[in-house]
Amino acid sequence: MSASAIFVLDLKGKVLICRNYKGDVDMAEIDHFMPLLMQHEEEGLLSPVLSHGNVHFMWIKHSNLYLVATTNKNSNASLVYSFLYKIVEVFTEYFKELEEESIQDNFVVVYELLDELMDFGFPQTTESKILQEYITQEGAKLEVAKSKVPTTVTNAVSWRSEGIKYKKNEVFIDVIESINVLVNANGSVMSSDIVGSIKLKTMLSGMPELRLGLNDRVLFALTGRDKGKTVVMEDVKFHQCVRLSRFESDRTISFIPPDGESELMSYRINTHVKPLIWIESVIEKFSHSRVEIMVKAKGQFKKQSVANNVEVRVPVPSDADSPKFKTSTGSAKYVPEKNMVVWTIKSFPGGKEFLMRAHFGLPSVENDEAEGKPPITVKFEIPYFTVSGIQVRYMKIIEKSGYQALPWVRYITQSGGRVATPLINK
């Protein structure tokens, strides 16, 4: 089962717009949501599901809005949350920014979208490109468009329209990997993993069938080939266009792609990863006068690669002032509202080592409050490089007209949500 009703609320809990899909939950139940939320927040027990009697509220917050789904059944929570995030994605593609003002300015379109996105509590047409064919943001066109619903909506291939034509047929494949690494004070890696996604930009005519081949270890084992570097992918999640039964039987990634940009799949690789940018740091405090911080950054990736837009974020005491910096490359900037120094290096070649020194004054009165010790975090992006060694072995494009199409592949490695190392007190 899925949702009974969907509500969009402002930060005070006022209902901006709602849609009742099943009628089995009293619409007035939403009045209990905000008091419940505030109560749980005060108690430090906030959770993504709140309950009042036998009614459950599943909610997300986006910008200055709450999106809430109600149900009185044992619903599939994963499906409901996926749908709520899909609403955010569709509304954002329609209105550029999803916030209270964009809902108030587009009531008619929002109602139309809520009608098409879900039917009797179950998700229906959720591809914004398809919705945009018959739900437009111009009132005059809306009436005309209503009379002719695209066949795509009732097709088996609901994510792609028929009759698409391009002069030049191409498909661009981006393999993007984010690295999460946590290092302790001794320099040992506490945890590490790689989260990857394969994104497509397809500019192909007609209704092409695509087959993507990766150096997947399970596939190589099934086919008796175990040569070269392979990867073991976990938590694999596909776009709805991928034929899951085919993948489960012989690991073939076969699909009719959406037109334009889309995320084909995401995966996780649980492996030991060394930090690509190694950080060494020392903080020296001189009582009642100053604090000095030295940070050394070293690129631990191959010399022919370059990390772009590197940011080393170094926490500093909340009562520090009068910053002075010295860097061997790049520039350092004090961000007082976040109690940190941001050291920016536009281009960081592999194998190179750089140094940053920071000097701060401290107030003469000792700060007795115990401060936490947040770690140094590193942000970066390395093009044409993957840590896991994942490779696109082939991309076959089959279309009944027999046209030739060009596939292009690009690899990118970037820092994930956790690339952190602690400051060492001297």
Q: What is the pLDDT of residues 276-312, one digit of tens each?
A: 999 999 988 887 688 899 999 999 999 999 999 999 9
Predicted local distance difference test score (pLDDT) of residue 152 = 53
- The least confident of 139-153, 216-230, 310-324, 331-345 is 139-153
**Chain position carrying tokens 């709450």:** 66
Lowest mean pLDDT of 39-43, 132-136, 233-237, 274-278, name the range: 132-136
pLDDT at 229: 83
Give the tokens for residue 47.
């959770």
Residue for token pair 């995320």: 263
Domain assignment of residue 100, yes or no: yes
343 found inside a domain: yes
Q: Judging by beta carbons within 10 Å of its beta carbon (0-12, 13-18, 19+), is residue 310 exposed, middle or buried?
A: buried
Q: When comparing pLDDT for 155 and 347, which is higher?
A: 347
What is the tens place of the pLDDT at every residue in 93-127? Answer: 999 899 999 999 999 999 999 999 999 888 888 88
Answer yes or no: do 289 and 267 share one domain: no
Query: So what's the pLDDT on residue 6?
Result: 97
- Strand 406-421 with 170-183, pairing: parallel
Domain holding 35: CATH number? 3.30.450.60
Average pLDDT over residues 166-187: 93
Task: Please tell me whether residues 221 and 269 are part of one structural domain.
Answer: yes
Question: In degrees to the nearest 10, what's the CA dihedral of 94, 260, 210, 394?
Answer: -130
Query: Considering 83, 109, 132, which residue would you say is the last residue of a domain?
Result: 132
Q: What is the pLDDT of residue 420?
A: 66
pLDDT score, position 144:
38
Check whether residue 286 and residue 397 sit in a common domain: no
Domain stops at, among 132, 152, 183: 132
Residues 401 and 264 in one domain: yes
The continuous run of DSSP H or E covering 131 comes out as helix 128-134
Q: How far is CA 415 from CA 57, 75, 376, 420, in A?
A: 34, 36, 13, 10
DSSP one-letter code for 240: T
Residue 394 lies in a domain: yes
Which of these three, 85, 113, 132, is where a domain ends?
A: 132
Question: Quick one: 293 and 220 in the same domain?
Answer: no
Comparing CA positions, the residue from 206, 243, 241, 260 lying closest to residue 400 is 206
Q: What is the mean pLDDT of residues 147-157?
A: 56
Q: Is there a single domain that holds both residue 13 and residue 115?
A: yes
The total domain count for the chain is 3
- The percentage of the chain sitting over the pLDDT mark of 90, rounded to a whole number, equals 65
Q: 56-65, pLDDT tens digit by residue? A: 999 999 999 9
Same domain, yes or no: 118 and 195:
no
**Lowest-confidence pick of 192-201, 220-229, 363-372:** 363-372
**More confident position, 187 or 275:** 275
> With pLDDT > 70 as the criterion, what percentage of the chain qualifies?
89
397 and 267 within one domain: yes
What pLDDT score was predicted for residue 126? 86
Per-residue burial over 123-149, b if 16 or more Cβ lie within 10 Å, else e, is bebbbbbbbeebbbeeeeeeeebeeee
SS (H, E, C) 45-104: CCCCEEEECCEEEEEEEECCEEEEEEECCCCCHHHHHHHHHHHHHHHHHHHCCCCHHHHH
Indicate yes or no: pTM above 0.85.
no
Both 321 and 414 in one domain: the answer is no
What's the pLDDT at 143? 41
If asked whether residues 52 and 201 sit together in one domain, one would say: no
Q: Is residue 147 part of a domain?
A: no
Mean pLDDT of the residues in the chain? 88
So what's the pLDDT on residue 50?
Answer: 95
- 372 confidence band (pLDDT: 50, 70, 90): low
What digits encode the pLDDT tens for the residues 259-279?
999 999 999 998 888 899 999
CATH code of the domain in which 333 resides: 2.60.40.1170
Residue 139 lies in a domain: no
Least confident of 151-160, 240-249, 294-303: 151-160
DSSP string, 169-233: -EEEEEEEEEEEEEE-TTS-EEEEEEEEEEEEEEE--SS-EEEEEE-BHHHHHHTT---S--B--
Check pLDDT > 60 for residue 237.
Answer: yes
Q: Spell out where 215-316 has E strands.
A: 234-238, 253-255, 260-269, 277-286, 290-299, 306-315
Q: What is the pLDDT of residue 124?
A: 87
Please say whether the dihedral angle defined by the alpha carbons of residues 157, 158, 161 and 162, taken in this order, is positive or negative: positive
Tell me whether residue 70 is in a domain: yes
Residue 328: what pLDDT? 96
pLDDT mean over 175-195: 90
- Tell whether 212 is covered by a domain: yes
State residue 155's pLDDT score: 59
Same domain, 9 and 128: yes
* Contact call for residues 332 and 325 (beta carbons, < 8 A): yes
- Residue 72: pLDDT over 70: yes
Residues spanned by the domain of 24: 5-132
318-331 tens-digit pLDDT = 888 899 999 999 99
Q: Is residue 160 part of a domain?
A: no
What pLDDT is attached to residue 418? 59
**Euclidean distance between CA atoms 379 and 11, whole angstroms:** 32
In this structure, the answer to whether residues 126 and 214 fall within a common structural domain is no
